[in-house]
A and B are shown apart, each in its own frame.
Chain A
């Protein structure tokens, strides 16, 4: 199996589309699908046809049927074999999925026209092949059975021709009224094609109104820059050029569209050696974040005090008009260090602030950066082209109130759920004569509107979008549409009066204009690379507004801050089971959200994890379980958005509380409120019960002194004779100084290895199945702890206790040093897990497989067995990839090259913290790292000789941390 790393050079795009067309035209496997997939029968005619397209002729549903008599099953060949489809060989397509409207460039792995795995696109300038959890999990969303499958009106299914007819009527009215009373509400989108189409629409109907509402991202993200620089700006801090970064509540390594790019840049700059310090990060934050966990020095500052610290920073950097605020001793000490560091790194020191922060902080930070001469490092750019001067949701509501809106068309947004409750958006919609919702799910808004038009999933779409750095990225389908759905551009085309254009047409039109002559060649190139090379506009020259913004005197009460959820974001991923079961980085919580508070507040209110509290903001309140987060500021309460959904689907409904309910319109990210204990409590579905390291050295810290002498290969004495190794000896090294605990590896592993989802009840009793867990520890004072992340996959011990325990040879050792787990031999004694000192094995206590007729099966990797009830499973070092590499190499009679085998977790890691390879090859990257001074073995004293080892984290330089 070829990995994206070694992509074939021949243009991929055209091959892809033609092959899909032919596959789609081919009813070859109908009979077979009926046998294997009764669900197919339940689809509408179109959906059924497309479902058939989905299934490859060779689609093997691996399971553990058992080793009994193998039956004679039907075998269905093609009638005419499509060109270039070699059954059983995966194909790779460059495309993208979107988050907050930004493109996340991917390489999609497909088997017989069935995407099973997404990896970052290594050629793409923005992400350079790294990925995040949303990118990894997008493929499951494609197979979500709760997706809207056909257009419908007031809950009644209708056909697209009905839709065309209705839109035709609308257009007649609009032409007379020039679009008077037409309101178009969009989610945040950066698609050049969509923008082009909307501009066309506005040109045709000048009086039509365009609104934008993005729950988290979008235009609102730029407000603070308006305050600080007098103009909306896209700031892309160039961390790769920084020596010192002072972050004021800016979780730039946290989940979000910016995460991959930032993490890549940060890790590049962070890379520290014995003699080169690397990037030093200073973090002042109200709510602990992954960024804070990586900081040299971190201080907890209540959200409402952040701007004071900013002012203090400005004051120490001699910014004109910055009075010295009174800071606590703790804050002052931190400030002094930060300032000292900034001074000593002039020109390479940068201060950043959160886009969720207040204007005062933003403006002080802007001026401080000018004083530090760091403005260039901000990487300021004009906002990624967007729907020009779109109005806000609040405007829409008031316009509706004025009766100025007769037709409301909502595209790819879910305001009925994400709109702040005070807006009473639902009532507003009721006042509109005709409302249309266009989206992939018939969600809260879809249910509210008269019409619902289902959209294709990105992986089924022809479209385009800009990545966070503004690079235009082409989205091409990896599979023909699954249900009776249209791309957003086809829908726009309908509004523009074009009847049922080819899906590709609108996108090609956009780029035909842009690419100019010799289009086809350039286009093919773009499809192959996945993006369009454009020259960048020169960065605008910017000046911090000199007027210091002073926030209104805070009314008393606790600081309530709102944050998007790290795994289901603003709620749009709520129906994605992989993401629901992914532990949130700092709490390891799954399947819900908590109200996180600091230890001090917990002490005051006598609260422990799981206690229910009511949060009151102005006249509204919500209640939910609390989580006491070590290191959270004493008066700050953090609410996470995205939960409490009612129409997300079978997976996402009725989980957690809905924070939008108390999110004020005027203070969307930070406000004041109160907290009351309710006396009830609940058990939370967390994957790690205990977070203090208890004085052990699981995560080691070193300073330059410790690492002078490169460590020799660690070998504990052993009674057993050494075993001869094969030509390759696989090993993995994980750099704890680079790991930001983002979970991308876990998500990638889930997708690659068919890891089942077990649901919150099973997680509560401790039966989560992820093969790779990110252990999260803290040390020191709970008020100001140091936090650590440690990915723990199977250690593949050379002298594995687990193997010794198995009575049936179900887990043994390969000559290449891989600890093998053979599911079909396992009888489930669980001795191996009892003996495992690292507890990395996972057991199928029940049959965790999706129902036999569930479309999720299509997401399964055909190269990996789907485990049945009663068998043990665990990390295999992605043995399917190793064996594929062996076959490839053996065919060419050559040894496997270093870097030829890339495990799923490794390829996903945005900071390249995971390195896998052959430890017998002295020149391999992994061998080099095993020789590094920071190299150590987890539980070395147990003498298990793990093949998975770690690089210790760097101690903060003296006088810090």
Chain B
């Protein structure tokens, strides 16, 4: 990829202009009107979440469509979906930082931001889906008067630790990356309020050589840790299913299958946001068609690997030959919820094939629509994995069905609000593209010809 970086940023721009342009977004916010419209919609969704949650806590999880046998549905499958989306950020910034893929520099900041809020959306679901959420704290080890402790063999217990770790580390990583840019914003700002805000958030960063040296080491090693973390988190989520004996869950392919799926949906959403931001803030000079091109390729690669997961799942069932595995497979392909399976395939892999063409990859609208379709496809996939496995497991006498209720949907839409509101605030108040890294890259590129 490094060879392409030669022309990933147009060179006819000075460091100063870049800095002013990027710090300008929070300091002299350009598109207030569109921002407010978005904000109002987002807040409405967030309000819907508040209402749904109130209803949930007052009446109980019965307001959802869940039952025995399908006692996990929307809550868990949206949890997995959001967490999946929350994977791209850290992957982009950490993995690509280590591999020195410089095209990341224009994307990593909002990718990480997106990660944070996606993980928060994911994180609330395990709480909401509890029958008695007010006893959540029983999942943490503390010296209780009951003398009883959490049960560390449970994948659910693992998840709590995994998600919290992931959230904390992502937050720390994101903030570390932000410090120098806060400093930049501080130095550009003229209003007292901005100065104080950025002055504190930048912790008094002065860009001294020694600072940079320590900062770089910390940042890189943290990135090194973040990568296995990303992989581990979604592997654990997959164990939440694979650890059970339910046909359609009890499979060794699950961890990689889930991680790839996660990256797939994550990159899709990164692409969506990248395209949206660049058109919103006229950042064409920084988020270039080349960026889209690379994103398209990554998306295609992840998609194909996820597709392999699908194939292997089928193979797994056929190879095991277990009567129940086969039964579940046929239920997935032809059963009452076959639409989720074929829907997932259609949305995930059919439009995806367009990405084989450079022109498609480089056209914002094309990539946007493909990415949206992928996000939907992955949502359907999680639905499929949850419901088609549970609604018909071993004993025929316990077969059931699942129909989402209004509250299932409202809670889901609500979490989209929970994602958008803080994200919109972030793009309003925080430099959404890493200033110093862009400058660093730009400088490198300007040097390269004569150096």
Contact in complex: A827, B130 (CB < 8 Å): yes
Smallest CB separation, A835 vs chain B (Å): 4
Contact in complex: B61, A808 (CB < 8 Å): no
Stretch at the interface among A286-294, A547-555, A799-807: A799-807
Contact in complex: A830, B72 (CB < 8 Å): yes
Contact in complex: B131, A872 (CB < 8 Å): yes
B150: contacting residue among A67, A809, A846, CB under 8 A: A809
Contact in complex: B156, A792 (CB < 8 Å): no
Contact in complex: B139, A807 (CB < 8 Å): yes
The residue of chain A having its C-beta at the shortest distance from the C-beta of B144 within the complex is A67
Interface residues of B in 58-79 (CB under 8 A from A): 59-62, 65-72
Smallest CB separation, B446 vs chain A (Å): 55
| A835 with B244, Cβ < 8 A, contacts A689-B400, A807-B154 known | yes
Mostly, the A contact residues are: loop
Mostly, the B contact residues are: loop
Interface residues of A in 909-953 (CB under 8 A from B): 938-939, 941-942, 944
Tell me whether B245 is interfacial, beta carbon within 8 Å.
Answer: yes
Contact with A along B142-167 (1 / 0, CB 8 A): 00011011110111110010000000
Contacts of B156 in A (CB 8 A): 805-807, 829, 831
Contacts of B394 in A (CB 8 A): 837-839, 939, 942
The residue of chain B having its C-beta at the shortest distance from the C-beta of A698 within the complex is B395
Contacts of A688 in B (CB 8 A): 397, 399
Residue from B135, B136, B139, B153 whose CB has the most chain A CB atoms within 10 Å: B135
| A833 with B131, Cβ < 8 A, contacts A688-B397, A808-B151 known | no
Tell me whether A765 is interfacial, beta carbon within 8 Å.
Answer: yes
Tell me whether B398 is interfacial, beta carbon within 8 Å.
Answer: yes
Tell me whether B327 is interfacial, beta carbon within 8 Å.
Answer: yes
Smallest CB separation, B429 vs chain A (Å): 37
Contact in complex: A845, B138 (CB < 8 Å): no
Contact in complex: B157, A807 (CB < 8 Å): yes
| A807 with B150, Cβ < 8 A, contacts A792-B395, A834-B71, A869-B132 known | yes
Tell me whether A572 is interfacial, beta carbon within 8 Å.
Answer: no
Smallest CB separation, A810 vs chain B (Å): 8
Smallest CB separation, A779 vs chain B (Å): 11
Interface residues of A in 848-897 (CB under 8 A from B): 869-872
| A773 with B397, Cβ < 8 A, contacts A807-B150, A870-B130 known | yes
Tell me whether B246 is interfacial, beta carbon within 8 Å.
Answer: yes
Contact in complex: A844, B395 (CB < 8 Å): no
Contact with B along A789-803 (1 / 0, CB 8 A): 010100000000100
Tell me whether A441 is interfacial, beta carbon within 8 Å.
Answer: no
Contact with B along A695-707 (1 / 0, CB 8 A): 1101000000000
CA distance A762 to B139 in the complex (A): 30
B327: contacting residue among A694, A835, A839, A941, CB under 8 A: A694
Tell me whether A767 is interfacial, beta carbon within 8 Å.
Answer: yes
Contact with A along B106-131 (1 / 0, CB 8 A): 00000000000000000000100111
| A838 with B151, Cβ < 8 A, contacts A827-B136, A843-B131, A870-B131 known | no
CA distance A766 to B151 in the complex (A): 29
Tell me whether B390 is interfacial, beta carbon within 8 Å.
Answer: yes
Contact in complex: A827, B67 (CB < 8 Å): no
Residue from B154, B156, B243, B403 whose CB has the most chain A CB atoms within 10 Å: B154
Contact in complex: B62, A846 (CB < 8 Å): yes
Tell me whether B41 is interfacial, beta carbon within 8 Å.
Answer: no
CA distance A867 to B234 in the complex (A): 35
Tell me whether A207 is interfacial, beta carbon within 8 Å.
Answer: no
CA distance A837 to B65 in the complex (A): 21
CA distance A872 to B130 in the complex (A): 11
CA distance A834 to B391 in the complex (A): 10
CA distance A693 to B136 in the complex (A): 40
Contacts of A694 in B (CB 8 A): 327, 396
Tell me whether B393 is interfacial, beta carbon within 8 Å.
Answer: yes
Tell me whether A828 is interfacial, beta carbon within 8 Å.
Answer: yes
Contacts of A846 in B (CB 8 A): 59-60, 62
Contact in complex: A765, B148 (CB < 8 Å): no
CA distance A397 to B48 in the complex (A): 63
Contacts of A938 in B (CB 8 A): 395
Tell me whether A841 is interfacial, beta carbon within 8 Å.
Answer: yes
Tell me whether A336 is interfacial, beta carbon within 8 Å.
Answer: no
Contact in complex: A767, B153 (CB < 8 Å): no
Interface residues of B in 396-412 (CB under 8 A from A): 396-401, 403
Residue from A691, A808, A841, A944 whose CB has the most chain B CB atoms within 10 Å: A808
Contacts of B135 in A (CB 8 A): 808, 827
CA distance A666 to B431 in the complex (A): 90
Tell me whether B323 is interfacial, beta carbon within 8 Å.
Answer: yes
Contact with B along A767-790 (1 / 0, CB 8 A): 100000101110000000000001
The residue of chain B having its C-beta at the shortest distance from the C-beta of A870 within the complex is B131
CA distance A939 to B150 in the complex (A): 30
Smallest CB separation, A755 vs chain B (Å): 14
Tell me whether A22 is interfacial, beta carbon within 8 Å.
Answer: no
Contacts of B148 in A (CB 8 A): 808-809, 825
Smallest CB separation, B19 vs chain A (Å): 49
CA distance A941 to B160 in the complex (A): 32
B246: contacting residue among A693, A765, A837, CB under 8 A: A837
Tell me whether A318 is interfacial, beta carbon within 8 Å.
Answer: no
Contact in complex: B60, A839 (CB < 8 Å): no
Smallest CB separation, B71 vs chain A (Å): 4
Interface residues of B in 367-407 (CB under 8 A from A): 390, 393-401, 403
Contacts of B395 in A (CB 8 A): 698, 775, 792, 837-839, 938-939
| A869 with B243, Cβ < 8 A, contacts A805-B154, A807-B156, A829-B156 known | no
Contact in complex: A870, B396 (CB < 8 Å): no
B245: contacting residue among A808, A833, A870, A942, CB under 8 A: A942
Contact in complex: A845, B396 (CB < 8 Å): no
Contact in complex: A839, B132 (CB < 8 Å): no
| A870 with B61, Cβ < 8 A, contacts A835-B244, A942-B394 known | yes
A827: contacting residue among B132, B145, B399, CB under 8 A: B132
The residue of chain B having its C-beta at the shortest distance from the C-beta of A689 within the complex is B399
A804: contacting residue among B65, B69, B153, CB under 8 A: B153
The residue of chain A having its C-beta at the shortest distance from the C-beta of B389 within the complex is A834
Contact in complex: A690, B399 (CB < 8 Å): yes
CA distance A805 to B245 in the complex (A): 11
Tell me whether A3 is interfacial, beta carbon within 8 Å.
Answer: no
Interface residues of A in 740-781 (CB under 8 A from B): 762, 765-767, 773, 775-777
CA distance A839 to B155 in the complex (A): 19
The residue of chain A having its C-beta at the shortest distance from the C-beta of B158 within the complex is A807
Contact with A along B311-332 (1 / 0, CB 8 A): 0000000000011000100000
Tell me whether A114 is interfacial, beta carbon within 8 Å.
Answer: no
CA distance A804 to B400 in the complex (A): 24
Contact in complex: B398, A804 (CB < 8 Å): no
Contact in complex: A766, B61 (CB < 8 Å): no
Contact in complex: A777, B396 (CB < 8 Å): yes
Contact in complex: B61, A828 (CB < 8 Å): yes
Contacts of A691 in B (CB 8 A): 396
| A804 with B393, Cβ < 8 A, contacts A689-B401, A826-B131 known | no
The 6 closest A-B pairs by CB, nearest first: A828-B131, A870-B131, A775-B397, A845-B62, A766-B67, A839-B398
Known contacts A807-B151, A831-B240, A845-B131; 6 additional CB pairs below 8 A are A689-B399, A696-B323, A766-B67, A777-B397, A807-B154, A839-B398
Which B residues are closer than 8 A to A by beta carbons?
A: 59-62, 65-72, 126, 129-133, 135-136, 138-139, 145-146, 148-151, 153-157, 160, 240, 243-246, 322-323, 327, 390, 393-401, 403
23 A-B pairs (CB sep. < 8 Å):
A67-B145, A67-B146, A688-B397, A689-B399, A690-B396, A694-B327, A762-B62, A767-B67, A775-B396, A808-B150, A827-B130, A827-B135, A827-B139, A830-B71, A837-B245, A838-B398, A839-B69, A839-B398, A845-B61, A845-B131, A869-B60, A869-B132, A941-B322
Which A residues are closer than 8 A to B by beta carbons?
A: 67, 688-696, 698, 762, 765-767, 773, 775-777, 790, 792, 801, 804-809, 825-831, 833-835, 837-847, 869-872, 938-939, 941-942, 944
